[in-house]
Structure 1
Amino acid sequence: MRHLLPLLGLLLAALPPAMLPGPARAALTEAQLAEVELAPPPGARLPPDLPLRDEDGHAVTPAALQHGLPAVLVLADYTCVTLCGPALGIAAHALAETGLRPGRDVVSLAIALGPRDGPAEARAMKAAHLDGLPPALLAATHVLTGPAAALARVQSALGYRAQFDEAAGRYAHPIGILVLTGDGRVSRLLDGLAPDPAVLRLALVEASDGRIGTLGDRLHLLCYGLDPAHGIYNGMVKQALTVGTLLTLGGLGLFLVLVSRRRAQGGQAQGGQAQNGQAQGGMRP
């Protein structure tokens, strides 16, 4: 048993800083994080005339990119090192599994959260997380940037509330997929990290008919992640780390118990064999 204790020590040493004793540090307050949400108001619509630029630096508007087609929209921080990139990839791959024809049935849009992201950051994000998509889907996926005023209009119109962490240089923001009708109205709001392709297809088919689903739900799933300078974990990441660590500790604890029992049983068996041997030795002629 004592030989296995170093393993437990190594595991505890590997625990993330957020789970170890010590003062908690956070650049954003709990009150600020509580304000982060995606809650489209009734009639929410992506402004069709927004002056944006695509990843190649071309001037575009949402209306010109949609061509009257329904769209999948994700808002993201293109320099994010936690969940934004994976969320874009997840949305794109879910769209690929719907069976809809990119550019003919649907388009995919991503819009930057702030003006610090330009076409170069958009290209880097697209290359890092959307490379390998079918060519038609890649061509129908537009990673957009714009001036501060235009991006503020996007967030205000969609009920998208983010907080910028000045100390960490990143956003705390909701993760969600907005399904838009051909004229940019919000039809549905879907989970940004686990979208069901079948549900996404149905939502896009409804959006193509101009139908608006129930928008009463609010998304509070945050992309905030770990700030290496401050040791901050967002709630979701911290919960995942906590669950994973507890499962690991539980598994190790069970392993130690089983090993201890086996050793105890082995010792009893050896003791019994020794006693039997002595008894048998006394009966020999």
Structure 2
Amino acid sequence: MKIWRTIRGGWQAAALVCALAVAPLSAQVSSYGDKQSGENSGDQLPQILQKVGVSQHLNQQLPLDSQFIDETGKQVSLGDYFGKRPAILTLVYYSCPMLCSEEMDGLSGALEMVHLTPGKDFDVIVISIDPGDTPADGAKKKAYYLKRYGHPETAAGWHFLTGQRPAIDAVTDAVGFGYVRVPGPDGKLTQFAHASSIELVTPTGKLAQYYLGVEYSPKDMLLGLVEASGNKIGSPVANILTYCYHYDPQTNKHSLIVARVVQLGGMVTVAGLGGFMFLMFRKDLKLGRDHDLTKKENG
């Protein structure tokens, strides 16, 4: 039993070491970007990502008169979704090859554990930053994430919008969502460099809370929606961003840096666990010998 407690304690210690190693890593290598030669070499952000990010404009009013097209092809105003309940806003583009899907997966996964109902307690508003996206693209994404969410009866609470550049820019400027168009694998400007975030919005259309990254705490989201429903504005969060940016497989510098850090962290964890278990086994053996010696002397 004592040995099992020793082993279990060793694994717990190893998990702690791993968590401590991974936590700073996410802040350092959270960008999906290629590392080019010159001033952007190493693990620095590419120059183009200097224009990308999320500035938290808490209490900022969204442009509710901005015109979009919903997934059914109907023209709507952003304000059509406000007045009664709060909303979760996310800015993505529907052909995004990486980060947008991770963001939407994280959102739908968190909402599965939030005991509130889209369309009744809040709305989910997804706006594409790509003016080339179509209502059909939005309808396809809505069908996918509604199925993933597992509650088709909440379809009226999910809205996938497309629009033209003036309306998109009005929303992204209000949110503080900085992004730039970049070349895709074919060399054409078909992709976007952007960061990942979702925003909670009050029933009056004011930004109440930001959640950054691609994984969201259901508990925090529930609390945030309850507070936003009362028009309460939250506080800024730590500005650790996850970027989406075209990766150049020819340079491969960024992935090598990540791999080396992970390999080093693994080696340190294994070595630490082995040393910890060795010391604990030695301690158990010594206590056993001392106990036997004491019994012999008293016998």
With the length of structure 2 as denominator, give the TM-score of the two structures: 0.66
**CA–CA distance in 2 between the matches of 1:242 and 1:54?**
45
Corresponding pairs, count: 231
Q: Is 1:157 matched up with 2:174?
A: yes
Q: 1:7 aligns to what? A: none
Cα distance in structure 2, aligned partners of 1:39 and 1:128: 30
Partner of 1:226: 247
Structure 1, residues 58-107: CA drift from partner, whole Å, max 9, x if none?
Answer: 11122212342111111002101111012112112212311012111111
Give 1:219 shift: 4.9
Tell me which residue corresponds to 1:114: 130
Identity score, percent: 27
Q: CA deviation at 1:150?
A: 0.3
* Cα RMSD, aligned residues only: 3.4
C-alpha distance in 1 between matches for 2:159 and 2:172:
18
| Mapped contact 2:108–2:148 kept (Cα < 8 A) | no
Q: Deviation per CA, 1:114-156, whole angstroms, max 9, x where unpaired?
A: 2011112222333444423211344311111101110011111
* 1:206 match: secondary structure: helix
Cα shift at 1:195: 0.5
Rounded to whole Å, the distance in 1 between the matches of 2:223 and 2:132 is 35
Amino acid at match of 2:79: A
Unaligned runs of 5+ in 1: 1-17, 255-285
Name the aligned partner's letter for residue 159 of structure 1: G
Match of 2:48 in 1: 32
- Superposition map of 1:132-211 within 5 A: 132-133=148-149, 134-166=151-183, 167=187, 169-211=190-232
Give yes or no for contact 2:197–2:211 (8 Å, CA) kept in 1: yes
Distance 1:107 1:232 in 2: 41
Higher mean Cα deviation, 144-153 or 126-135? 126-135
Map of 1:98 onto structure 2: 114
Q: Give me the whole-angstrom Cα distance separating, in 1, the residues matched to 2:110 and 2:153.
A: 15
Which runs of 5 or more residues in structure 2 are unaligned? 1-33, 272-299
Deviation at 1:53, TM superposition (A): 1.0
Residue identity matched to 1:139: A
| Paired residues of 1:71 and 1:109 also in contact (CA < 8 A) | yes
**Matches of 1:241 and 1:79, distance apart in 2:** 28
SS of residue matched to 1:52: strand
1:125 corresponds to which of 126, 141, 152: 141
